[in-house]
Structure 1
Amino acid sequence: MANTILSVFTRPMARSYLKSLNNIPMFLVHNRSIVCPELLGIRCLFAKAALGIDGYIQMQEQIRNQMASVADRFKEKMLEYSAENSNNMIFTEDLKNMVHLADSDDDIKVVINMIKKYNKQNKSMRFGNYIFGPVVMRMFHIHKKADLALECFKSPELSNFFDQYGSYQILCDILYESQKYKEVLETVQIIKEKQGEGLRYPKNVIVLALASCYKMNTKESLEYALKLWHELREIGHYPTRKATTFCTALAINQGKPEIALEILSSARNSGYTTVRNLRVLALSMIGRIEDIIPILKSVLRVDSPEGQLHTFNRDVLAKVKEAVDLSENHQVILEFTRLMELFEKQKLISEQTLDNDLCTEIQISRSNQNNQMQFLSRRPQQKFQRPVERPSLYDLV
C-alpha cells in the first residue's frame, strides 16, 4: 500500500494512470464509508447562478420571445448553413441565437455543426469579441448532455474553442451532476496539459475534482486526490476549504485518519462546521479521545453576531460516542455524556449528515465570480514547509 501511493506521488499523473480508474468496479463506490455519501438523488455542487445558467435562461427567454414567429424558419436556415457542403458563413449573431433557441437533440446537433464551422472560419472575419465556450457549455448543462459536452471539449475541430475557466468549470459540473466522476478527472488532466505552470489549477475545477474523488471513495481515487494535493502544495497553491474537506473526508472513508488530520492542518478556518466535525471524527479513529473534548467544548462559548449556532452533526457524534465508549476512560465518558446533554439542551446538534454539509451547494456572488473562476490563490513568497519532526503524507500512508 505504501509503495503504491508513494509511487503515485513521485511520478507524473499520466493519462495511463487515469485510465486505470476505469477498471474500478462500481459496487466499490460508497463502500465502507464513515462519512456516508448520499445514495439517492443527484446533488448540485454549484448553484446555477454561480455557473451563469440563470443569465443564460434569461437570454434564452428574451431571444425566443423576439424570434417566436420566425424560429422554425431560422432553424431550417441554420441547418442548411451548417452543412459541410455549404459555402455560407456562420455569423456570430446567428450562432448566438441558435445556441439559445436549441430545444431538441436535432437543434443541438445543428449547434455543434455550427460551432465547428465557426471555429474553422478565418479569424480575420470575426470582428466581435463574443466568447462562445461557456455559453455552449451552459446549453449542454441545461439539456443534460454530459457526453456531448465532453466530446466537443476533446474534439480537434474545436481546438481552443472551450479554453476558458468558465467552460472548464461548467463542463466538470455537468459531468459531476451526471455522476461521471472518472470523466471529471480525465477532464482535469486535459486542462492541466492545456495550461501553463501556475494556471493549470482553476480553483472551482479542483473542488469538482476532489468532490468526484470523494464520491468514488476508492483506494485509487484517494491516490489521485493525494497526488493532486501534493502538486498544488509543491507550487505554493492553497486549496479552498471545500476542496480541503472533500479530500479529508475521502481519507477518513479510506481508513487514513492520520492523512486526514495532516490535510486539515492547512484549513484556513479551523472553526468551520465541516472542518470541526471532520477533525473530531479523525481523532476518534486514532483513539485520541482526550483531544476531542476541548473541540466539543469550543462550541459552547461561541457567540455568533448573527445568532447562528455552532453545531456538530449527529452522525459524527454517534461515531465519536462509539470511540469514547471503547476507550473505557470513565472520566472522558462522563465528560462526553455531560456535553451531549448540554448540546441537546442548547440545540447544538445538527440533524443534517456530515455528507450533506460537505456537499452543500456553493453560492458565488457576481462580484466574486471572475476571481472564483480562476486559479488557486498563492501566498506570496511562501511555500508549504512542514517541521522536520512532523511526519509527511508519505510517512503516514
Structure 2
Amino acid sequence: MAATLRPPKQVLLLHALRSLVYHWVGGSGSTCCLCPLGETYLRNLEEKLTQNKLILKEELRTLLHLCTSRDDVELAKHVIYRYHAENRNITLGEYKFGPLFVRLCYELDLEDSAVELIKDQHLQGFFSDSTSFNILMDMLFIKGKYRSALEVLIQMKNQDLKFNKDTYVLAFAICYKLNSPESFQICTTLREEALIKGEILPRRASCFAVALALNQNQVAKAISIFSQIMNPESIICTNLNIMIHIQSNMLKTLIDILKDATEGNLSRFVKRHVFSEEVLVKVREKVKDVPALLAEFDELNKKLHRSGQVTAYTLDALLCHTPSDRQSYTVLLNKRTVSRRTFQPLSQSLWAE
C-alpha cells in the first residue's frame, strides 16, 4: 500500500488562513485585529525573512489579505522586496500583486507607502499594470496631493504602460488642478499622442483639458478641443461653452445661447440646459459695460432661475464631481459595506471597489 502523503504544516496553515480570508462567517462583528492564526502567520513570515528563506507567491498573496495596520504593511513591503528580488526574471503569470498592495494602502490611508514602492526602481516590473497607477493617482487626487499624483503619472509614462480611459481622465484632472504652464504642456502632449494612436478620449477627460486651456488663457486651444467633443450636451460642456464665449468676447452669441435655453414650452421630461451660478456671474461681469446686453442678460437670468436651470455648484465642483451610480435601486441596497479583504466597514469612497 502506498504511503499516505501529508502536506507540511506551512501548507496547512496557509489553507486555513485562506479559508478564513475568503469564507468569513459572521460572529460578534468585531474584526479590528487579526485572529491568533493570522498573527502566527505574520510572525512566521518575519522569521522566513530573517532566515533568508524563499517567499512563495501564495504566501505573499495571503499576507496582503491579512494586513490591517501600518506595521503589517511595513512587513508586507519587506516581503515584496524579497519576493521581487527572487522572481524579477521569472514570468509571474496572470496574477498581479500591484493592485492588491495599492488597494491595501487605499483602505488604510497609506498613500505614501504606495508612492514609495511604485517609484522605487528596485521594484521595476512589480507594478506592471495600469490599475495600480490609476488607484494610486485617484487616492492622491482625492487628498489634494496633485504634485505627487503627477509624479506617479510620469512614472507610469516612463514605464511605457498603456493608458486606459480612466488613466486619461485622472491625468487631465491632475494637470487641470495643478494649472501651470508645465501641466498644460503635459496635458497637451498626452492628448496629442493619444489622438495620433487613434484612441477616443473620454468626454470627461476632454472637459478637463478645455478647462485647463481656459485657465491658462489658451482660448484657441480650448475651442479646438471643445469642437472635438462628441455629444457636448452635458452640464459641464454647457458651462465650458459659456466660458469659451466669455473669454473669446463673443457676447452677442453668448446672449443668444442663454436665450435659446430659456425659450420654448419644453416638456418636463425634456432635459434642459443648466448653468452654474458662478458662470452666470462672470457673464454679467463681462456684459456690464454694454447696457443693452446687460438688460437682456438680467431678464434671461431671472427666467433661468425661475425655471430651475441654475445650480449653485461651481464649474470646478461640476468637473470634479463623481458621477452617480446608474445601477438599479435594488443593486444599490445590496452594495457591499464590508471589505472582502479585511471584513471591516468600507468608507464611502471604497463602495465602488
TM-score, normalized by length of structure 2? 0.75
Q: CA deviation at 1:311?
A: 0.8
Match in the other structure for 1:359: 320
CA distance in 2 between counterparts of 1:296 and 1:276 reads 10
Q: Which amino acid aligns with 1:319?
A: K
Structure 2 counterpart of 1:266: 228
Which structure has the higher relative contact order (CA within 8 Å, separation 6+)?
Answer: 1
**Unpaired runs of 5+ in structure 2?**
1-20, 26-30, 328-353
Output the amino acid matched with 1:333: L
**Structure 1 position 185 matched with structure 2 position 146:** no
Alignment of 1:101-112 (within 5 A): 101-112=66-77
The 1:73–1:117 alpha-carbon spacing in structure 2 relative to 1, beyond 3 Å, is same
Distance 1:125 1:187 in 2: 25
The offset of 1:322, in angstroms, is 1.0
Written as runs of structure 1 = structure 2, the 5 A alignment for 1:42-61 is: none
**Quick one: distance in 2 between partners of 1:174 and 1:229?**
23
Cα drift, residue 261 of structure 1: 1.7
CA distance in 2 between counterparts of 1:103 and 1:345 reads: 52
1:57-98: per-residue Cα shift (whole Å, max 9, x none)? xx6894969962422222211222234x422x3233332232
- Note closer, same or farther for the CA distance 1:107–1:75 as it changes in structure 2 (3 Å cut): same
1:285 equivalent in alignment to 2:247: yes
Amino acid corresponding to residue 345 of structure 1 in structure 2: R
Matched, 1:229 2:191: yes
Does the 8 Å CA contact 1:312/1:349 hold for their aligned counterparts? Answer: yes
Q: Corresponding residue for 1:170?
A: 135
Give me the whole-angstrom Cα distance separating, in 2, the residues matched to 1:65 and 1:143: 13
Give the Cα–Cα distance (whole angstroms) in 1 for the partners of residues 271 and 22 of structure 2.
39
Question: Matched residues in 2 for 1:221 and 1:129: separation?
Answer: 35
Match of 1:312 in 2: 275
Indicate how the Cα distance of structure 1 residues 125 and 188 shifts in structure 2: closer, same or farther if over 3 A, else same: closer
Query: Which amino acid is the alignment partner of residue 203 of structure 1?
Result: K
Partner of 1:131: 96
Aligned residue identity for 1:349: V
Decide whether aligned partners of structure 1 residues 123 and 333 sit closer, same or farther in structure 2, where only a CA change above 3 A counts. Answer: closer
Query: Do the aligned partners of 1:60 and 1:101 also contact (CA within 8 Å) in 2?
Result: no
Aligned to 1:72: 39
Equivalent in the alignment of 1:91: 56
Q: In the aligned structure 2, how far is the partner of 1:60 from the partner of 1:318? A: 55
1:74 and 1:267 mapped to 2: Cα distance? 53
Q: Aligned match of 1:248 in 210, 215, 220?
A: 210
What amino acid sits opposite 1:164 in the alignment? D
- Contact residue 130 and residue 163 of structure 2 kept, 8 A: no
- More displaced 10-residue stretch of structure 1: 264-273 or 98-107: 98-107
Q: 2:109 aligns with which of 127, 144, 167?
A: 144
How far apart, in 2, do the equivalents of 1:128 and 1:234 lie? Answer: 31
Q: How does 1:104-123 map to 2 (within 5 A)?
A: 104-122=69-87
Q: Is the 8 A contact 2:33 2:68 kept in 1?
A: no
Q: Which AA in structure 1 matches 2:279?
A: V
- What TM-score does the superposition give when structure 1 sets the normalisation length? 0.67
Shift of 1:203: 2.0
Partner residue in 1 for 2:288: 325
Aligned residues: 301
Distance 2:206 2:126 in 1: 31
Shift in Å, 1:346: 0.6
2:97 counterpart letter in structure 1: F
Asked if 1 retains the 8 angstrom alpha-carbon contact of 2:179 and 2:216, the reply is yes
Instruction: Judge conservation of contact 1:152–1:158 (CA < 8 Å) in 2.
Output: yes
Contact 1:82 1:114 in 2 (8 A): yes
Q: 1:240 to 1:128 in 2, by over 3 A?
A: closer
Q: 1:308 Cα shift?
A: 5.5
Q: How far did 1:169 drift?
A: 0.8
- Take 2:87 and 2:221, find their aligned partners in 1: how far apart are those partners? 52
Q: Is 1:82 the counterpart of 2:45 in the alignment?
A: no
My pick for the range that moved more, 152-161 or 293-302, is: 293-302
Give RMSD over aligned pairs: 3.1
- State which structure, 1 or 2, has the greater radius of gyration over its C-alpha atoms: 2
Cα deviation 1:313-339 (Å, max 9, x = unaligned): 00000001111223x161x33332222
Structure 1's 61 and 104: CA in aligned 2 closer, same or farther, altered over 3 A?
A: farther
TM-aligned CA deviation for residue 360 of structure 1: 0.6
For residues 275 and 347 of structure 1, the distance between their equivalents in structure 2, rounded to whole angstroms, comes to 18
CA contact (8 A) 2:34 2:68 kept: no
Paired residue type of 1:86: N
The one-letter code sitting in structure 2 at the alignment partner of 1:285 is: Q
2:125 counterpart of 1:160: yes
**C-alpha separation in 1, matches of 2:246 and 2:32:** 59
- Asked whether the equivalents of residues 257 and 283 of structure 1 are also in contact (C-alpha less than 8 Å), the reply is no
Deviation at 1:140, TM superposition (A): 1.3
